[in-house]
Amino acid sequence: MSYCVNCGVELQKSEPRCPLCGTEVINPNELKEEKPIRPYPAHVEHLDKNIDRRYIASFVSLLLLIPLFTAMLANILVSKQLTWSYLVLGGELVLFTVFLLPMIARMPKILYAVIDASAVSVLLLLIRVLTQSSWRWFLLLGLPITLLTTVMCWFFAMMTLPKCKIPVLIRFTFALTCIGLLVVAIDFFISLYKNAIAWPTWSLYVLFPCLVLASSLLILNRRARVKEELKKRFYF
């Protein structure tokens, strides 16, 4: 009969050391005794290794090079120079930064948003250069809409974090208001691009329902009983 000097519990004879603290068991009276049967066999059933997302993402990134090189080769063979294949490069760059980069590299979340926005801007820039169109649409339409959408996506991502303390209904209120305002902003930039008066027109059809829904949610949020009922009803 051995006791752990550290924990005060009695140890089964099969225990070579205390399973609670790791202290080795040496009982001078039981040194010559036969090795007792262990309560469990020695064979360990191993689990599958966890999926290495980083490895898979790196592998898919390499695979992306195949369509890129194929496109470039076809481009050179046909046009004798690289032209439209830059669009494939831009498209794959966006694909890589949005889906694969978060799996490969760990960095502050804000950096992902900055990199994604930059990748989309590069794609738009490539389109502008290759189509030899004016800078106007890029500066007045492409770039501002990209930046605004990125900021909004960042805002939504922040609100879905578990740390976010804002009540759910208020979060939806913010989200709806933001969607409405983004549509108005898009309308504004399109009007600006067309040299028209920058006054929202069609976007108001989106903005008003969004604002009405958002204010309804705001009102609902003030009624504890209704809020509780909604939580219950929409629980799935």
Q: Which positions lie near other proteins, rule CB under 8 A?
A: 7-12, 14-21, 37-48, 50, 228, 231-232, 235-236
Nearer to other proteins, 18 or 115 (CB): 18
User: Cβ 4 to other proteins, closest distance in Å?
Assistant: 8
Nearer to other proteins, 8 or 28 (CB): 8
Sort residue 88 into left (φ over 0), alpha (ψ -120 to 50) or beta. Answer: alpha
Q: How far is CA 28 from CA 33, 41, 52, in A?
A: 10, 27, 49
User: Cβ 35 to other proteins, closest distance in Å?
Assistant: 10
Beta-strand ranges (E) seen in 43-193 are: none
User: Cβ 22 to other proteins, closest distance in Å?
Assistant: 9
Nearer to other proteins, 13 or 128 (CB): 13
Q: How far is CA 90 from CA 102, 123, 128, 135, in A?
A: 18, 5, 12, 18
Q: Round to whole Å and give the CA distance between 118 and 170.
A: 31
Place of tokens 């689990």: 47
Nearer to other proteins, 12 or 215 (CB): 12
